[in-house]
């Protein structure tokens, strides 16, 4: 892990934790401590792509203590050759098609190849999402509105589990949530993003993606 990426990871987790309390002044105090407990999954090469951050035992214990286990995802990414920007997008399935409902991104004036950073998301208490991007000292925060307040009886979700290589123009699904008022639900995977029909009959379907924007 490069020192720059380690600092970025610490900042990402600090933002995630600070968002719980709303106390921005705590961020700088958290980052030094967090930089000592973060680790990242090693990619097979220096290729561009995105993958989940693997926390140390202390980091995992911290998330459990704060009740974030299963509700938060921290990703590290490396920009692929030719990419001009990166977006963290949130889609919902409406009338059988994906609708971009929330999210945002960062763009570069020059060559973004090999730039490293982090993306994080957290499920808020109201069911919405808190989203953060950080790369090369620049950062941005976004939010996704909560879903409908229907009485769902079944739900499932999934997060990206391994490094996904990417090229400029690729969009990688990194998380999903499915909810339904029925009593039975099949299993789903991130790959189902390519086939919206797989979710026929479900009341609420939401995906988060990381898009490496082409010029």
**For the segment 84-98, what is each residue's pLDDT rounded down to a tens digit?**
889 999 999 999 999
CB-based contacts of 100, cutoff 8 Å, min separation 6: 89, 90, 91
- Per-residue pLDDT averaged across 162-186, rounded? 92
| Mean pLDDT within 112-121 | 79
Structure tokens at 66: 């704060």
Q: How many domains does the chain have?
A: 1
pTM of the model: 0.77
Largest CA distance in the chain: 52
Task: For the chain, give the mean pLDDT.
Answer: 77
- pLDDT, position 140: 84
Exposure on the CB side of residue 132, measured as CA atoms within 13 A: 27
The predicted structure's pLDDT at residue 161: 92
Domain extent, residue 54, equals 3-213
Predicted local confidence at residue 14, as pLDDT: 46
Do the beta carbons of residue 84 and residue 213 sit within 8 Å?
yes
Give the C-alpha separation, 66 to 17, whole Å: 8
């Amino acid at each position: 892990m490069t020192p720059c990426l380690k600092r970025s990871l610490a900042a990402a987790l600090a933002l995630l934790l600070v968002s719980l309390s709303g106390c921005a002044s705590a961020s700088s105090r958290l980052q030094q401590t967090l930089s000592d407990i973060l680790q990242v999954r090693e990619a097979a090469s220096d290729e561009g792509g995105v993958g989940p951050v693997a926390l140390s035992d202390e980091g995992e214990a911290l998330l459990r203590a704060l009740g974030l286990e299963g509700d938060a995802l921290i990703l590290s990414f490396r920009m692929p050759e030719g990419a001009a920007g990166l977006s963290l997008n949130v889609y919902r399935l409406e009338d059988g098609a994906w609708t971009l409902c929330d999210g945002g991104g960062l763009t570069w004036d020059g060559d973004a190849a090999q730039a490293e950073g982090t993306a994080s998301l957290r499920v808020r208490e109201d069911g919405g999402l808190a989203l953060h991007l950080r790369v090369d000292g620049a950062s941005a925060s976004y939010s996704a509105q909560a879903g409908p307040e229907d009485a769902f009886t079944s739900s499932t979700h999934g997060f990206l589990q391994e490094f996904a290589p990417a090229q400029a123009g690729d969009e990688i699904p990194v998380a999903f949530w499915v909810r339904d008022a029925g009593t039975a639900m099949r299993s789903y995977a991130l790959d189902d993003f390519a086939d919206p029909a797989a979710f026929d009959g479900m009341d609420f379907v939401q995906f988060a993606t990381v898009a490496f924007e082409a010029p």
